Amino acid sequence: MSLHAGWHFKMNRFLGPAALCALGIGLVMVLAPGIASAKRIVVRPGDSIQEAVDAASAGDKIIVRPGTYMETHGASVAVRIKKDGIRLIGKSKRGRKAILVPGPGNRHGILVEPEHGQPDIQGSRIQGMTVEGFDGNGIKLEHVNRFKIIGNESINNLENGIQPELSANGLVKNNISYGSNDSALWIEGGTNVRVIGNITHSSVTGLEVTISNNLVIEDNESYNNTIGMGLYHPSSASEPALAVMGDWKIEDNYIHDNNRPNTAPPGSAASTLPPGGGILLMGVSGNELEGNLIENNEFFGLTVIDFCIGVEGVPAPCASNWSGADTVPRNNEIEGNTFINNGTNPVPWHPFAPLAADIIEAVLDPTAGNCFEDNSYSTYASLVGAPAPQQCP
């Protein structure tokens, strides 16, 4: 942006009106073929969204009119996008939405992913779609660079609602996702992703983050989940650890009333999560939590915990750490958060129930370096018996 602005300033400064006019004509001639090639494809009730996607070329916009759509091609994914720059836009009118529901054989809703072995998809936009009732994932992106997931609704998609995975330079904004037995919204292996203004509820984890780098997670609301927000160790993910993981800015989110019973499939990793958790920071490092309001979570508002202690009750090494990544959460800064009425009614069967509080620290390593500053809270508990959290230098 700054480079472009500087270039533009110099051109205006040194070129006269006639030269600028000629330059503008030249630019139009260069750019026009690319612009002209993009098409606008309209899908109406009774049409197939997948057929429109198959007919589209890179960069085309597909408009889906209000109505309920069911694909009949029999594949496990209802709508699969494999091309660069496809914009799939659902329209609403007088309360009617563009709704995708499972057809015969459909397990997943919308998937944006290149063919196996092909380069990452460049550019993708999913907007305004309602995806409902799939046994698998609602909206998933994998290996996509430059993406936008805006204003969608994921309803009762039983694995994960919305999941950009191993994707970069993206925006996930103003979506509503609920009714998943894993995560309503999961950022997995993301790089340079902004997650803003989403609402996640009635799931096992409302908003989950794993193996990612350089994230902004801001102004989201998460309620009526088992865990409101899970910042989870790489061994909680489905992909290998990345070389760089951290720099997650968790700011100005509202995490409240996350006391829903755990409905994850028995035996799954998610099934071990106890109800009543606000933010669970488990074995991840180098992040900032600032300005969040965390209230009415019956087990804890925030727990900062060693991954091995969390899953096996012992510090590292532990058998559950298949990724090999450090299990100790280190150098996280927790500043200016407000905790209200958390830890008042923990599930009695959990071994950490006696520690229930606004803030729980379960880290034995004295060099961990997590610090707290200017937080408002009433109760604090530490696995090592510390009377108060460590202040930031």
- Can you tell me the distance from the alpha carbon of 195 to that of 218, in angstroms, rounded to the nearest whole number? 6
Q: What is the pLDDT of residues 172-229, one digit of tens each?
A: 999 999 999 999 999 999 999 999 999 999 999 999 999 999 999 999 999 999 999 9
In a domain, 362, yes or no: yes
Number of structural domains the chain divides into: 1
State the virtual CA torsion across 343, 345, 350, 353 in degrees, nearest 10.
50
In a domain, 186, yes or no: yes
Question: CA nearest 284: which of 322, 331, 337?
Answer: 331
In a domain, 372, yes or no: yes
Produce one character per residue of 16-37: b if its CB has 16 or more CB atoms within 10 Å, e if not. eeeeeeeeeeeeeeeeeeeeee
User: Which pLDDT does position 237 carry in this prediction?
Assistant: 92
In a domain, 390, yes or no: no
- Can you tell me the distance from the alpha carbon of 204 to that of 197, in angstroms, rounded to the nearest whole number? 20
Q: Is 29's pLDDT higher than 50? A: no
pLDDT-derived band at 24, boundaries 50, 70, 90: very low
Report the share of the chain in percent with pLDDT over 90: 89
Structural domain range at position 125: 37-382
In terms of Cβ atoms closer than 10 Å to its own Cβ (0-12, 13-18, 19+), residue 56 is buried
User: When comparing pLDDT for 83 and 242, which is higher?
Assistant: 83
Q: Estimate to the nearest angstrom the gap between the alpha carbon of 363 and the chain centroid.
A: 26
State the number of CA atoms in the 13 A half-sphere of 167 facing the CB: 30
In a domain, 8, yes or no: no
In a domain, 226, yes or no: yes
Q: What is the pLDDT of residues 224-262, one digit of tens each?
A: 999 999 999 999 998 999 889 999 999 999 999 999 999
CATH number for the domain harbouring residue 115: 2.160.20.10
Strands 98-101 and 129-132: parallel
pLDDT-derived band at 71, boundaries 50, 70, 90: very high
In a domain, 111, yes or no: yes
State the virtual CA torsion across 335, 336, 337, 343 in degrees, nearest 10.
80
Long-range contacts of 263-269 (CB under 8 A, 24+ apart): 263/181, 263/204, 263/226, 264/181, 264/182, 264/204, 264/226, 265/181, 268/182, 269/236
State the number of CA atoms in the 13 A half-sphere of 209 facing the CB: 30
In a domain, 312, yes or no: yes
| Cis previous bond, 317, omega within 30 | yes
